[in-house]
């Protein structure tokens, strides 16, 4: 079983839609959690960290459920520019970051 | 401020050849990392360095060596390239010290093909 699992998609949604991605992790001792965004043939870039209390950044909301060992990302009012692959990242300790394979999102006009 | 730079951007090797991938960061970060990214696999950590002079194995270190030359530079060496090492290689850096976790900043990647 992979340490971090994501639905690969693709998710194809119209502009303005709300879309949610989930990610599960296997190591219950994992300490910190992140969502990164990766555009085609580019490097990953941090989208947001994920806190136990949940956090919001504009149209993006991240949630962490430690009991069930999953992380979610909600995107409201999708824009064309949101089209990308979203990577779930889990720090299992000592800077050992484990990446999910990513969920691909395409937002269509 | 260039951030994280990597050279070369593209490379084609024959099986058995050696090469070194270079990475440098100008953000005065403590930690540096090497990852490989393969289709359907996500990024996998090869080696990391929590501070100058220290290196540690990640998830997939076999076939690679690294050198933390100074605080700025972290190189990855393939001594005898194999087709299984065909991948996109990303270098990253973060402020985090050993045991910490922090935002990682990635370089643009090196696309390596081994024939």
**How do residues A48-91 score in pLDDT, each as one tens digit?**
989 888 899 999 999 999 999 999 999 999 999 999 999 999 98
- Residue A31 has its nearest CB partner, among B42, B101, B103, at B101
State the pLDDT at residue B103: 83
Measure CA of the first residue to CA of the last residue in chain A; give whole Å. Answer: 37
Tell me if A44 and B90 make a contact (CB, 8 A cut-off).
yes
| Nearest CB to A95 within list B44, B50, B90 | B50
d(CA A92, CA A101): 16
Cα–Cα separations (whole angstroms), residue A75 to A35, A99, B64, B87: 12, 20, 39, 31
Choose the closest CB to B104 out of A2, A97, A98: A97
Q: What are the chain A neighbours of B100 within 8 Å (beta carbons)?
A: 95
Q: Which residues of B touch A5 (CB under 8 A)?
A: none
What number is the average pLDDT over the span A93-97? 74
- Three-state SS for B72? coil
Residues of B in contact with A2 (CB under 8 A): 42
Model confidence over B50-99: pLDDT tens digits?
A: 888 899 999 899 999 999 989 999 999 999 999 999 999 999 998 876 55
| Residues B5-11, mean pLDDT to the nearest whole number | 97
The pLDDT of residue A52? 82
Percent pLDDT > 90 in chain A is 76
């Amino acid at each position: 079983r992979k340490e971090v699992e994501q639905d690969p998609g693709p998710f194809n949604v119209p502009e303005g839609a709300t879309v949610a991605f989930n990610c599960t992790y296997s190591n219950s001792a994992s300490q910190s959690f992140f969502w990164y965004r990766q555009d085609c043939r580019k490097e990953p870039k941090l989208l947001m960290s994920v806190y136990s209390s949940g956090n919001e950044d504009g149209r993006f909301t991240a949630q962490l459920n430690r009991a069930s060992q999953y992380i979610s990302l909600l995107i409201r009012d999708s824009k064309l520019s949101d089209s990308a692959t979203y990577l779930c990242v889990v720090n299992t300790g000592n800077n050992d970051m484990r990446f999910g394979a990513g969920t691909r999102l395409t937002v269509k006009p | 401020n260039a951030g994280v730079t990597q050279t070369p951007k593209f490379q084609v090797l024959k099986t058995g050849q050696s090469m070194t991938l270079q990475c440098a960061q100008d953000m005065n970060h403590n930690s540096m990392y090497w990852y490989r990214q393969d289709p359907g696999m996500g990024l996998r950590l090869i080696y990391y360095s929590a501070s100058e002079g220290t290196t540690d194995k990640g998830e997939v270190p076999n076939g690679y060596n690294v050198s933390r030359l100074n605080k700025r530079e972290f190189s990855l060496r393939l001594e005898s390239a194999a087709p299984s090492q065909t991948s996109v290689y990303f270098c990253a850096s973060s402020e985090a010290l050993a045991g910490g976790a922090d935002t990682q900043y990635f370089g643009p990647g090196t696309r390596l093909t081994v024939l």
